[in-house]
Amino acid sequence: MMEFCPKCGSIMVPVKKGKQVYLKCPKCGYTRSKAPKSLKLEEKVKHEKVLVIEKDETNLPVTEKICPKCGHNKAWWWVQQTRSADEPPTQFFKCTKCGYVWREY
């Protein structure tokens, strides 16, 4: 059963103060001191499992490119449009050894 605020017409929500439960309008603040007897306020906490990834796995293509930081010769690469549509896209590289990221225009 839903109750509506007599002042503004919004849906009244149950609020618990101590042991007493009453209805309050979230829009205008109107309160009804006595809530219906059938009203029960419960709080349920839903616990979700968190997935922990221990290893950084990258699903990008690999090319032979010399890293400017460590000198390693393999890097992941991807292309991204960083400027306006009439400009060519930017090619990014990430070293497979040290993780350094650089770009070429």
Question: Is 56 annotated in the active site?
Answer: no
Domain 62-104 has CATH 3.40.50.300: no
Confidence of residue 34 (pLDDT cuts 50, 70, 90): low
- Measured between alpha carbons, how far is 40 from 35 in angstroms, rounded to an integer? 9
Q: Which of 42, 43, 57, 86 is catalytic?
A: 86
Question: Is 87 annotated in the active site?
Answer: yes
Mean pLDDT of 18-25: 82
Confidence of residue 48 (pLDDT cuts 50, 70, 90): confident
Q: What is the domain partition of the chain in residue ranges?
A: 1-41, 62-104
- Measured between alpha carbons, how far is 39 from 3 in angstroms, rounded to an integer? 11
Mean pLDDT of 36-56: 74
- Measured between alpha carbons, how far is 99 from 52 in angstroms, rounded to an integer? 20
For residues 55 and 12, the model is more confident at: 12
